[in-house]
């Protein structure tokens, strides 16, 4: 995998978050539509599991952010910011957040998933049944849709895997249908189990 080799070179084959040297893999920092070196980082299994399962977070593991937050890599900065926000109840994380500087573009990326916002501030994407949609979910079209600017017709019942959320519009998601990336209105999909 070309991306993994480039990330290993960039990180000296260590987890870009905690510095671990085993069980490393490519982690695409959401929301992303296509994998690239710029929107990915090399992370160990422990970090990925805790990022994806907030209930499994070991606060002491994330003291590593004291070092990794200074990375010049935007993807690493974004994940450091998100994890520090997730651990806001710990005193030491607030101090690190005060020191962490992200440029406007990187900060917008960091906030795109709603991390660090109060529940009432978060933009929620809901399917036709009111279920909350998240990046990476699979949805099914409940209506045949003509794709604007294309001859493509997305048929009812089509499964769209690994969706991404349009962070500034709760009524839109993105996904691939027949290999083409399209924007879909959330009222025309239902979440698949």
* pLDDT tens-place values along the chain, 193 residues long: 699 999 999 999 999 999 999 999 999 999 876 789 999 999 999 999 999 998 899 999 999 999 999 999 999 999 999 999 999 888 889 899 999 999 999 999 998 887 765 544 556 889 999 898 988 899 999 999 988 888 889 999 999 998 988 877 889 999 998 888 899 999 999 998 7
* Class level of CATH domain 125-191: mainly beta
Cα separations in angstroms, 115 against 2, 44, 172, 173: 30, 21, 19, 18
What pLDDT does residue 166 have? 83
Rounded-to-10 torsion of CA 54, 60, 61, 62 = 70
Kindly tell me the burial class for residue 89, based on how many C-beta atoms sit within 10 Å of its own C-beta (0-12, 13-18, 19 or more): exposed
What pLDDT does residue 50 have? 94
The domain limits of the chain are 2-111, 125-191
Please list, in sequence order, all residues whose beta carbon lies within 8 angstroms of the beta carbon of residue 78, skipping any fewer than 6 positions away. 29, 102, 106, 109, 110
What pLDDT does residue 32 have? 76
> Model-level pTM?
0.61
What pLDDT does residue 57 have? 92
What is the crossing angle of helices 45-52 and 74-86, to 10°? 50
What pLDDT does residue 122 have? 56
What pLDDT does residue 116 have? 61
What pLDDT does residue 124 have? 82
Give the helix ranges, DSSP H, for 34-177. Answer: 45-52, 65-68, 74-86, 91-99, 104-111
């Amino acid at each position: 995998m070309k991306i993994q080799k480039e990330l290993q070179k960039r990180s000296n084959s260590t987890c870009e978050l905690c510095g671990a040297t085993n069980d490393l893999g490519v982690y695409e920092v959401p929301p992303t539509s296509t994998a690239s070196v710029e929107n990915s980082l090399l992370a160990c299994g422990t970090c990925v599991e805790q990022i994806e399962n907030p209930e499994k977070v070991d606060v002491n593991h994330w003291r590593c952010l004291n070092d990794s937050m200074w990375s010049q890599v935007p993807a690493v900065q974004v994940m450091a910011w998100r994890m520090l926000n997730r651990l806001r109840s710990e005193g030491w994380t607030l101090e690190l957040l005060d020191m962490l500087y992200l440029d406007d573009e990187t900060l917008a990326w960091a906030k795109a998933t709603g991390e660090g916002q109060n529940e009432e501030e978060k933009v929620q994407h809901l399917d036709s049944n009111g279920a909350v949609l998240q990046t990476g979910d699979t949805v099914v079209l409940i209506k045949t849709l003509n794709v604007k600017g294309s001859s493509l017709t997305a048929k009812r019942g089509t499964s769209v895997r690994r969706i991404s959320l349009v962070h500034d519009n709760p009524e839109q998601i993105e996904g691939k249908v027949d290999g083409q990336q399209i924007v879909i209105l959330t009222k025309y999909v239902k979440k698949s189990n």
